[in-house]
Amino acid sequence: MTALNPGGWRPEMTAAGGADDTTTFTGNRALMLEEALIFEIGSTATTGVDFDEAAPAADLGALARTAPIGLPGLSEAETVRHYTRLSRQNYAIDLGLFPLGSCTMKHNPRLNEKVARMPGFADAHPLQPQETVQGAYAVIHELAEWLITLTGMDSVAMSPKAGAHGELCGILCIKAALEARGEDRRVILVPESAHGTNPATAAFAGFTVEDIPATEAGRVNLEALKARLGPDVAGVMITNPNTCGLFERDMKAISDAVHAAGGYVYCDGANFNAIVGRVRPGDLGVDAMHINLHKTFSTPHGGGGPGSGPVVLSEALAPFAPLPFVTKHAEGFRLIEEESAGEDHPQTFGRMTAFHGQMGMFTRALTYILSHGADGLKQVAEDAVLNANYVLRSLEDVLDAPFAASGPCMHEALFSDKGLAEGFSTLDIAKGLIDEGYHPMTVYFPLVVHGAMLVEPTETESKAALDQFIGALRSVAMRAKNGDPALKTAPHFAPRARLDETAAARKPILAWNEPAAAPGTPSLSEIGGS
């Protein structure tokens, strides 16, 4: 038997089709289509790929794989349908406003996709002889120059694979720099409002993490920070603009104080979209900052990645940057790898990844940057900040905005759950927004605000789109304030109602397994005939 699910049973199928006005035989509801797993519909004998030749005999002896693997195959027709059906159960930027705070879900231009697929980029091997990939090195170098100029920094490490990997790069640069100075500083200071990756990164690299206190106005408490600095502090990790959506006014003073105490300043650049083209982190005394190309420079999030996290570095940290990197010479571009590093880059902390980084993201980001130019990027920051402030001021009468009195926000507007009816929470507002056709905002982050709701509209939303979103959020907020019981069970119109996450964690089912031949499990034809 090659079918893994020989009975043809599908989980949403029911014998009670038409029993009431919401039930169907298939579990489908018109365009809302249920889809079984590939393991339930495929067979190990089916393939959607034709080959020009039969499989030649292999002579691998005892190493030959003889036992069944259990990998289902589908024809191309079935494959296209399976994944198209799955795709329709996802929300996406292409469908509507995606206001996830600190995630910068902006429009993904399709020219970027086209360029990334040019064979010269997509079909090149990372270890090809250098003379055959000069165009690829040129892309890396050109993007690097833009990132250096836009941030006012000394150099950039291009190889980190995502934001958190970039954080690790910056923190290792700091560690290497301290080692070169012969100092053993063990503490990294991180504000409570930081992304979870910041403390996780510092700990992963062997540092002890301590909190930096915040002021009531939502910013780093400069005096408290100064008081904590000392010979054991390696540096600070600060997000600017911070996760409360505020610009750290004292950033330069913070940097000066940290430098005076012998430490380094790491800036989490997740929120660079608010200031790109208007403020250079290098002018604020930053030593290292990662740039999420998948945020500010619009490479698609892809349902969770891939990202890309180049790290710009100050003159103090540049000598420790990881391998490999591209340099420009009269005769062309050169890739500096382990062998040439000895002469050119003796203090490098080493390699962070195989090959040279996320080339597919570099081509997209460079395309995006060239499309905008210096003027367009400045406009990006301005429109992103304008849109966020518009949302903040349009909703502060119905939702508590804890830092609204602190002045304008940057690219994201922060609200709390204060004033909701007894028993109603931020989660209910989020789920209510789903029924209104929106992806919820970031919820319960940052941790410093109770029931936080962090809204980042980005610059690629029109005023009309913002007005409709504001109306929807206002309506849902009023329902939460008035205690509408229907909101407690939202969403009602999504492909699934609220999912039982506790059960998922208590008894994890992380892979599909052949169903035990349960007596009474009806087969497809039996259901149809009943």
Partner 1 sequence: MRYLPLTTDDRSAMLATIGATSIDDLFADVPVNARLDGPIADLPLHASELAVERHMAALARRNRAAGDGPFFLGAGAYRHHVPASVDHLIQRGEFLTAYTPYQPEIAQGTLQMLFEFQSQVARLLGTDVANASMYDGSTACWEAIVMARRITKRGKALLSTGLHPHYRSVARTMAKYTGDVLVDGDPSLEAGTDWAALADSIDKDTSCVVVQYPDILGRIDDMTALASACQAAGALLIAVVTEPVALGLIKAPGEMGADIVVGEGQSIGVGLQFGGPYVGLFACKTKYVRQMPGRLCGETVDANGKRGFVLTLSTREQHIRREKATSNICTNSGLCALAFSIHMTLLGEAGLRQLAAINHGRAKMAATELAKIPGVSVLNNSYFNEFTLLLPTEARPVIHKLAERDILGGVSLGRLYPANANLANGLVVAVTETVTEADISAFAAALREVLA
Residues 6+ apart with CB under 8 A from 113: 300, 364
How many residues in the shown chain lie near partner 1 by CB under 8 A? 204
Which of 131, 529 has the CB closer to partner 1?
131
In the chain, the amino acid numbered 245 is G
Which of 263, 457 has the CB closer to partner 1?
457
Q: How far is the CB of 166 from partner 1 (least distance, A)?
A: 10
- What would the two tokens of residue 527 be? 């259901």
Range 127-146, binding partner 1 (CB under 8 A): 127-129, 131-136, 138-139, 142, 146
Q: How far is the CB of 49 from partner 1 (least distance, A)?
A: 5
The one segment of 221-229, 385-393, 417-425, 522-530 that binds partner 1 by CB under 8 A? 385-393
Distance of CA 298 to the CA centre of its chain: 11
Asked if 386 interacts with partner 1 (CB under 8 A), we say yes
Q: How far is the CB of 258 from partner 1 (least distance, A)?
A: 17
Question: Residue 106: which region, alpha, beta or left (left: phi > 0; alpha: psi -120 to 50)?
Answer: beta
Whether the link from the prior residue into 508 is cis, omega within 30° of 0, is no
The one segment of 224-232, 259-267, 383-391, 472-480 that binds partner 1 by CB under 8 A? 383-391
Among 231, 376, 419, 483, binds partner 1 (CB under 8 A): 376
| Helix or strand (DSSP H, E) at 157 | strand 155-157
Range 236-255, binding partner 1 (CB under 8 A): 246-247, 249, 251-252
Per the CB < 8 A criterion, the answer to whether 281 and 156 are in contact is no
- What would the two tokens of residue 402 be? 């804890």
Dihedral sign (CA 407, 410, 411, 417) = negative
d(CA 447, CA 430): 17
Which of 428, 459 has the CB closer to partner 1?
459
Asked if 494 interacts with partner 1 (CB under 8 A), we say yes
Asked if 510 interacts with partner 1 (CB under 8 A), we say yes
Asked if 471 interacts with partner 1 (CB under 8 A), we say no
| Helix or strand (DSSP H, E) at 210 | strand 208-212
Per the CB < 8 A criterion, the answer to whether 244 and 407 are in contact is no
Which of 52, 422 has the CB closer to partner 1?
52
Range 144-203, binding partner 1 (CB under 8 A): 146, 149-150, 161-165, 167-168, 172, 175, 195-197, 199-203
Q: How far is the CB of 345 from partner 1 (least distance, A)?
A: 14
The one segment of 230-238, 259-267, 397-405, 488-496 that binds partner 1 by CB under 8 A? 488-496
- What would the two tokens of residue 8 be? 């043809």
The residues facing 455 across adjacent strands are 100, 413
Distance of CA 100 to the CA centre of its chain: 10
The one segment of 229-237, 260-268, 293-301, 417-425 that binds partner 1 by CB under 8 A? 293-301
Selection from 212, 214, 260 nearest residue 237 by Cα = 212
Among 15, 19, 80, 260, binds partner 1 (CB under 8 A): 80
Asked if 500 interacts with partner 1 (CB under 8 A), we say yes
- In whole angstroms, how large is the CA radius of gyration of the chain? 27
Range 57-76, binding partner 1 (CB under 8 A): 57-58, 60, 62-65, 67-74, 76
Selection from 275, 241, 312, 293 nearest residue 108 by Cα = 293
Range 110-129, binding partner 1 (CB under 8 A): 111, 113-115, 117-129
394-403 b/e with 16+ CB inside 10 Å = b? bbeebbbbbb
Which of 521, 529 has the CB closer to partner 1?
521
Which of 158, 225 has the CB closer to partner 1?
158
